[in-house]
Amino acid sequence: MSAACILGCAGTALSAEERAFYRDVKPWGFILFARNIEAAYQGAGLNHTRRDAADDADALIFGDQAGGRVQRLKPPLARLRRPAALFGQLYERDPEQAVEAVTLNHRLLAHELSALGFDADCAPCVDLLHARGHGVIGDRAFGSDPSRAAALGRAALDGLLAGGVAPVVKHIPGHGRAEADSHHRLPVVSTPLAVLEETDFEPFRALADAPMAMTAHVTFTAVDPEACVTLSHWAISTVIRGHIGFDGLLMSDDLSMKALGGDFADRTRRALDAGCDLVLHSNGDMAEMAAVAQASPELSGRAAERAADARAPARRSQSFDPEAAEARLDELGLAGHEAAADEGVFARAGLA
């Protein structure tokens, strides 16, 4: 049985200590960043090595690849992809073309991730853009309109799933109103519940059938003034599972973020007790991972069932012509590009 955690790795190769640790812990999955893959030829082989270390051929390997500022794998590993905001702007002019473009873009993301041995992606972000919100969301959002975020979020799900990559919707039930970056401190949102229901929660409700979702390290005073969503049983049971109706696999956002207090074992226990099925820890720090692992039980019950369902879409890719997809995106002005210096479209959109 797998432990209820997703863990990171320190470098491009596993040390003997890491191998022994992962084999003992058996994490349900791994998450990798740019520091973990230096060349394309390493990708699939190294990810196989990680699954072997966990003694689980089905362990999911997660990327965090959405385009724009959140693109961990860059050229030559993967083409740079446009931020969500640009697709949202196209939606204002032509909704059908925007849906097509997002689907193709995420199908290409899946194609690139699969080639490197990844089979899950922490995308799409369907948080809404709010004028007073912290820039940590910014152009990662499709826009401020719930119906637009829902439509383009659905297109992103469709594209990733068609490429055999399991998507993770984030940051449920919404991070856009946060006026602080949860990487550094805990955001507190005082918006009334009725307003949240009609706005921020709506895209997540529309995507409630997604296989996985990631919590927001945000405190909503109208929901639970004492704890952020990740650590709040009331927020998870009443809002995420209840009002929104999400019944897929729920993982925490990264436990190493400074929005959370307490030691790592305490963070892990509180997140799981609140109702997260799994916890995520990404930085590869061995001491922190050991504390997370020590507090992570084996997956069981409904959480294990959700985990099995979440794995099902991975590695089930449909036939695809990436060159044709790139050509169509190029027609729409939204194709990927090779070099970070090619920022003209970003500048024209005010996103550079």
Residues designated as active site: 183, 253
Q: Which residue has the tokens 């084999």?
A: 23
Give the other-Cβ count within 10 Å of 107's Cβ: 24
CA 32 to chain centre: 12
Contacts of residue 20, defined as CB under 8 A and 6 or more positions apart, other chains included, come to none
Residues in contact with 305: Cβ distance below 8 Å, sequence separation at least 6, in sequence order: none
Whole-number Å distance between alpha carbons of 8 and 42:
17
Residue 232, Cα to own-chain centre: how many angstroms? 20
Within 8 A by CB and 6+ apart from 154, the residues are: 99, 206, 207
State the Cα–Cα distance between residues 136 and 123, nearest whole angstrom: 15
- Strand 27-31 versus strand 3-7 pairing type: parallel
Amino acid identity for residue 337 in this structure: H
Which tokens go with 75? 């050229």
